[in-house]
Amino acid sequence: MSIPVTRLGKTGLKVSRLALGTMTFGTQTPEDVAQAIMNKAVDAGLTFFDTADSYPAGRASPGLTEEIVGRWLKTRRSSVILATKGFGKVGPNPWDGGSSRKHLLDAIDGSLKRLQTDYVDLYQLHHYDAATPLEESLEALDTIVKSGRARYVGVCNFFAYRVAQAQGLSALKNLARVVSVQPRYNLLFREIERELLPCCLEEGIGVIPYNPLAGGLLTGKHKRDSGPAQGSRYALNSDAGTQYRERYWKDRELDTVDAFVRLAAEAGVSPVTLSVAWVLANPAITAPIVGASRPEQLDLSFAAATYKLDPALKEKLDALTVEYRRGDAAR
Residue 192 has pLDDT above 80, yes or no: yes
Residue 111, strand partner residues: none
Quick check: is 123 catalytic? Answer: no
Selected residue with higher pLDDT from 331 and 188: 188
Contacts of residue 211, defined as CB under 8 A and 6 or more positions apart, other chains included, come to 184, 185, 186, 189, 289
Q: Which of 55, 185, 234, 244 is catalytic?
A: 55
Helix, strand, or coil here: 12?
coil
pLDDT of residue 330: 38
Average pLDDT over residues 172-190: 98
Residue 100 has pLDDT above 90, yes or no: yes
pLDDT of residue 329: 37
Alpha-carbon gap, residue 313 to 318, rounded angstroms: 9
Strands 5-7 and 14-16: antiparallel
Selected residue with higher pLDDT from 293 and 306: 306
Give the residue ranges of DSSP H helices in 59-122: 64-73, 101-115
Query: May I ask the CATH architecture of the domain 5-213+277-308?
Result: Alpha-Beta Barrel (3.20)
Residue 240 has pLDDT above 70, yes or no: no
Where do the domains of the chain lie? 5-213+277-308
Selected residue with higher pLDDT from 64 and 225: 64
Alpha-carbon gap, residue 144 to 150, rounded angstroms: 6
Residue 21 has pLDDT above 80, yes or no: yes
Average pLDDT over residues 42-68: 90
Task: Evaluate whether 139 touches 101 at the Cβ level (below 8 Å).
Answer: yes
The mean pLDDT of the chain is 92
Alpha-carbon gap, residue 24 to 184, rounded angstroms: 17
